[in-house]
Amino acid sequence: MPYMFDPQLRNALAARMRFYNEIGIYDFYQRAPSIAASASTASLQEERTSLQGEEMSLRKSAAVMTPEAVPLKILATTSVLSFAEEGMSDPVKALQAIRIDLGDCTRCPLHQQGRKQIVFGVGNPKAELMFVGEGPGADEDEKGEPFVGRGGQLLNNMIKAMGIEREHVYIANIVKCRPPGNRQPERDECATCSPFLMRQIAAVKPKVIVALGATAAKTLLAMNSSMLQLRGRFYEFRPSGMPHSDSGWNGCKLAVTYHPAFLLRDPRQKGEAWKDLQMVMKELGMKAPPKMEE
């Protein structure tokens, strides 16, 4: 008979696993047993007694647990709970759960560097197409919505050129707080914040993601390649940390194109970005309005 955990302990472990996922830790491994441990064989009753003892200890110190303190069997049971919204049939509720979990985030230094508010995400919770940018700028930080400044206006035009409206897609960023001076998010900031984005992607379940710019592409794909190398093809994408038990969605295609802010600085690349979007449209079976067709 499988060992059953107390609901209070299970919730404590789920919170601890969620914490590790939020800071970019998804996989845990059992240390090699010592010679003494490997030389002995414990009975099932002894193992159960040991787990019960560990459970009592964890109840007392769940707030200060380390990976070494958590039995491997418990980790295997609770790792799927990093996506607490798993199994929610309504993506709206799933996104709400993620936003509540994010709270008034203080997990990285950005919350102390002038941000006014968290910029979570916006759009159709059931969108087939999702755009992921780098991070909010001053206009986004002021309004609390991604891509509302000059770059956002260009993104809106890009979306319209595809024959759809902004409300039909879902838009988010790698980091949800404005980096000071609109600088590029640092690696640790991306690593801390991106688990929430992964959960947003798993909630929306898009067919295609468009990574806008190098920071978004490199973070999502875990690749350190140039834009020239990253563009022009699709990647098979599945959010890191996503439970493999989700039989209704096994990931999506991911394409890379230039960030709208870059296109404002170098309009000559707009034609290349349009080629990327046409590739996405073909994948989704979309047809551009006649005036936008080549």
Domain residue ranges of the chain, discontinuous segments joined by +: 7-82, 91-292
Instruction: Judge whether 124 and 168 are in contact, CB under 8 Å.
Output: yes
Q: Look at residue 292 in the predicted model and tell me its pLDDT.
A: 57
Q: Look at residue 242 in the predicted model and tell me its pLDDT.
A: 75
Q: Look at residue 294 in the predicted model and tell me its pLDDT.
A: 47
Specify the residue for token string 């194109």.
Answer: 257
Question: In angstroms, rounded to a whole number, what is the distance separating the alpha carbons of residues 4 and 27?
Answer: 23
Question: In angstroms, rounded to a whole number, what is the distance separating the alpha carbons of residues 273 and 294?
Answer: 14
Q: Give the residue from 159, 178, 179 showing the smallest Cα distance to 167.
A: 159
Q: pTM for the full model? A: 0.72
Q: Look at residue 88 in the predicted model and tell me its pLDDT.
A: 75
**pLDDT of 293 higher than 90:** no
Topology of domain 91-292, CATH: Uracil-DNA Glycosylase, subunit E (3.40.470)
Q: Give the residue from 36, 39, 33, 77 showing the smallest Cα distance to 58.
A: 77
Report the phi/psi class of residue 194: left, alpha or beta, with left for phi > 0 and alpha for psi in -120 to 50. Answer: alpha
| Secondary structure element (H or E) that encloses residue 102, with its range | helix 91-102
Sign of CA dihedral 44, 45, 50, 51: positive
Q: What is the mean pLDDT of residues 267-293?
A: 90
Q: Look at residue 56 in the predicted model and tell me its pLDDT.
A: 45
Instruction: Judge whether 216 and 231 are in contact, CB under 8 Å.
Output: no
Helix axes 7-22, 44-61, angle to 10 degrees: 70
Secondary structure class of 255 (helix, strand, coil): strand
Question: In angstroms, rounded to a whole number, what is the distance separating the alpha carbons of residues 21 and 202?
Answer: 14
Query: What is the tens place of the pLDDT at every residue in 190-219?
Result: 999 999 999 999 999 999 999 999 999 999
Instruction: Judge whether 207 and 282 are in contact, CB under 8 Å.
Output: no
More confident residue, 64 or 76: 64
**pLDDT of 114 higher than 50:** yes
Query: What is the tens place of the pLDDT at every residue in 131-164?
Result: 999 999 999 999 999 999 999 999 999 999 999 9
Secondary structure class of 261 (helix, strand, coil): helix
Q: What is the DSSP letter of 77?
A: H
Q: Give the residue from 160, 103, 111 showing the smallest Cα distance to 136.
A: 111
Q: Look at residue 60 in the predicted model and tell me its pLDDT.
A: 39
**At 220, which amino acid appears?**
L
Name which of 105-119, 190-204, 239-253 the model is least confident about.
239-253
Report the phi/psi class of residue 149: left, alpha or beta, with left for phi > 0 and alpha for psi in -120 to 50. Answer: beta
Q: Look at residue 13 in the predicted model and tell me its pLDDT.
A: 67
Q: Give the residue from 270, 269, 126 showing the smallest Cα distance to 205.
A: 126
Contact partners, residue 84, CB within 8 Å, separation at least 6 = 14, 18, 97, 101
Name which of 18-27, 78-87, 145-154, 196-205 the model is least confident about.
78-87
